[in-house]
Amino acid sequence: MNREFTEALKKEFGNNILDEVTSRNETYLTVKKEANVKICDHIYHHLDISLVSIFATDERKKDGFFKVHYVFSLDKGDAFVIIKINIDEKTPRYNSITHKIAAANWYEREIQDMFGLIPQGHPDPRRLIHFEDMPAGVYPLRKDFNIRTKPQRVKGEYVYRRVEGEGVYEIPVGPVHAGVIEPGHFRFSVAGEPIINLEIRHFYTHKGVEKLFENISLDKAVFLAERVSGDNSVAHAVAFCQAVEKIAGIDIPPRAKYTRTILLELERVYNHVGDIAGIATDVAFGMGAAHANRLKEEILQLNEKVTGSRLLRGMNAIGGVRRDIGDKKDGILLELSEIQRDFRELMEYLMSIPSLMDRIETTGRIYNDTAKGLHVVGPVARASGIDRDTRRDHPYAAYPEFNFKVQLQKGGDVYARTVVRADEVCESIGIIEQALWSFPDGEIKAMVGEIPDGYAFGYTEAPRGETLYWVNTSNNKIERCKVRDPSFCNWLAIEYAVLDNIVPDFPIINKSLSLSYSGNDM
Amino acid sequence: MSVEDEIELMGQRLNEKIKKIFGRSLHIREVDAGSCNACEVEVNALSNPIYDIERFGIHIVASPRHADMLLVTGPVTRNMELALLKTYNATPSPKLVAAMGSCACNGGIFGETYASGGGVDKFIPVDVYIPGCPPRPQAVIFGIMVALDKLPQKIGKTGVKP
């Protein structure tokens, strides 16, 4: 698949392609800087291939250039094609592709803030990650930037889009919210109750994670990956470990693969049950919420019994897992069957309550073309009829050995997202059961020596969707680690989902998208 | 002892303390100053039917103006610094501040960088530190109890009666 694809590209753009490198399922094509829009547009629109990430690297020490990578995912053939352009330090500009591919919007602004590379022709060149009090010329991901630097605060104001007209007023919300949730700012423009426009302003929790990766050892980096987005710890840690294992050519033992699969699915179960509880809370259906929260707590306590951590932390390591869960097999199976029985009962009950259905049906609709255009991922995408799931399209851990169905809905509303999550909980419990029934014997961790220099992708399907890590190692240290959390893709969809809905429905829509602020802001 | 019994026991002690100091209930405002959201999972767990801290007189409120205590999580990020200070100033005195989680205690794995300021006590006075990554709900309840013991001294200093 990969070979055919690159051959076709070469035929089309032969003289624009400068270099080709293939390693495993990743093909890197360096192209002429001016040809980026033409080639990306061709791949995206004519060949209908998803753009999953854009990131930059600072390789000035090596060959004098910054590089921008456009990552395309060939879902049918389990392959990635990466288009690379070289950018000279003296002319830190390149052509923006956002006017052709809407999904590129935030990536290009992120690169602008973190590397100082300017996407020319970007429709919205405001800052994204840095706030207005950050002085100009601070580019944290450049190699010559010291992580301990404390930039001065300067004066500046962020300009929101304004909606004007008779009876239109603004509602600012956040960053400190009324509920126990993470910080972020929402600016609603409303006329009466219906929302005319919503603008989100995030990155309050920006902690400099990508820069931090470059400053800590590989072993410690696994712990950092677990803390990028707290409730998706396993998905992040596994994605990171897989990238490093791919670079080093480590084949982890089957028992470790099975353990990772079980942990990933336990994480999905508690997150999805928690999201369903949140929806019941936000429609003020206390009894349903109490039931769902009780179930979530039971899974968290099961997690603690199995791994010692309620959020499944500290289990993954480069080369496998740290702790054997073989002796807990029967306990997990027993508890899960009870949880599944209760969960089915709960869903039947919830779906039979007219006041709940009234609030979630047709609410917060994300149409299929919007979801596709913004590259929405995970259960949110699947509820809008996008048939993508990393577990099936880019198999990892022990997933190829199990039977499971990718759950789809067409509606794109809160109801569809709730149904997708509920169905996925049952599928996940099915996967854990299959894994435990055929749990292999043997080691749980492969020998890991020095990690060679190289680069590779690691990917998982987190409860929120596709999670990508691109790791570049050199001298047994991390040279660059790009983290692409699913929320980074999904946040912009909320600006579309709330249109024409009323303000009181915003919390439900927000909850149904289940977005991580920390994973997005990093 | 099962989790339920453990919580029941701790809760009774907590309830007695709250009754003695506040008469009825303790109001807490949670502030995420840049956490990874794991601490929020555990704070939310405190309200589920297993822990149900409301029955012991603890209420998580929507505004700092209603709060007796701030529960702060996360290493204070550069972008959240101002919001944290505003929240602190909006909370009426005498107030308690609990730093929840390793990051809030001393910056944790994020430490001090261009984007993260380190522990909460660098920005606002902290009365009690609750370590853990994230701390279990039981640890949070225990932390609140320790904080409550500190309040009489505070009241003595400011002369304000609750």
* In chain B, where the domains are located: 3-158
Which two tokens mark A158?
A: 């962020």
Judge contact between B35 and B74, C-beta under 8 A.
yes
Nearest beta carbon to residue A518 from set B31, B37, B79: B37
pLDDT at A77: 82
Which two tokens mark B121?
A: 């006590």
Query: Which residue positions in chain B have pLDDT lower than 70?
Result: 157-162
CA distances from A363 to A173, A395, A484, B12, B86 (A): 20, 33, 28, 43, 34
Nearest chain A residue to B41 by CA: give it. A231
Query: Can you tell me the distance from the alpha carbon of A109 to that of A201, in angstroms, rounded to the nearest whole number?
Result: 13
pLDDT at A117: 93
Nearest chain B residue to A518 by CA: give it. B36
Q: Is A351 exposed, middle or buried (0-12, 13-18, 19+ CB in 10 A)?
A: middle
Cis peptide before A400 (omega within 30 of 0): no
- Show me where the domains of chain A are located: 2-120, 168-201, 209-513
Are the Cβ atoms of B77 and A207 closer than 8 angstroms?
yes
Q: Partners of B99 in the beta sheet?
A: B72, B129
Q: Partners of A59 in the beta sheet?
A: A65
Name every chain B residue with its beta carbon within 8 A of the beta carbon of A138.
Answer: 114
Which two tokens mark A243?
A: 């990238």
Nearest beta carbon to residue B114 from set A176, A208, A233: A208
CB atoms near residue B127 (< 10 Å): 21
CB atoms near residue A149 (< 10 Å): 10
Nearest beta carbon to residue A208 from set B41, B87, B115: B115
Asked if B49 has any chain A CB less than 8 Å from its own CB, the reply is yes
Q: How far apart are the first and last CA of chain B?
A: 36
pLDDT at B157: 67
Q: Partners of A321 in the beta sheet?
A: A316
Q: What CATH number is given for A209-513 in this structure? A: 1.10.645.10
B-facing residues of A in 151-170 (CB < 8 A) are 151
Q: Partners of A317 in the beta sheet?
A: A320
Q: How far apart are the first and last CA of chain A?
A: 34
pLDDT at A156: 87
**C-alpha A224, offset from chain centre:** 16
Are the Cβ atoms of B64 and A176 closer than 8 angstroms?
yes
CA distance B31 to chain A (A): 7
CA distance B126 to chain A (A): 19
Q: What CATH number is given for B3-158 in this structure? A: 3.40.50.12280
Strand segments, DSSP code E, in A148-242 are 168-173, 185-191, 195-201
CB atoms near residue A94 (< 10 Å): 23
Asked if B83 has any chain A CB less than 8 Å from its own CB, the reply is yes
Q: Which CATH fold would you assign to the domain A2-120?
A: Beta Polymerase; domain 2 (3.30.460)
Q: What is the pLDDT along chain A (522 residues), one digit of tens a residue?
A: 677 888 888 888 888 888 888 888 889 999 998 888 988 998 898 888 899 999 999 999 988 899 999 999 988 888 899 999 999 989 999 999 999 999 999 999 999 999 999 999 999 989 999 999 999 989 999 999 999 989 999 998 888 888 988 889 999 987 888 888 899 999 999 998 899 999 999 999 999 999 999 999 998 999 999 999 999 999 999 999 999 999 999 999 999 999 999 999 999 999 999 999 999 999 999 999 999 999 999 999 999 999 999 999 999 999 999 999 988 889 999 999 999 999 999 999 999 999 999 999 999 999 999 999 999 999 999 999 999 999 999 999 999 999 999 999 999 999 999 999 999 999 999 999 999 999 999 889 888 888 999 999 999 999 999 999 999 999 999 999 999 999 999 999 999 999 989 999 999 999 999 999 999 998
Query: Can you tell me the distance from the alpha carbon of A313 to that of A218, in angstroms, rounded to the nearest whole number?
Result: 17
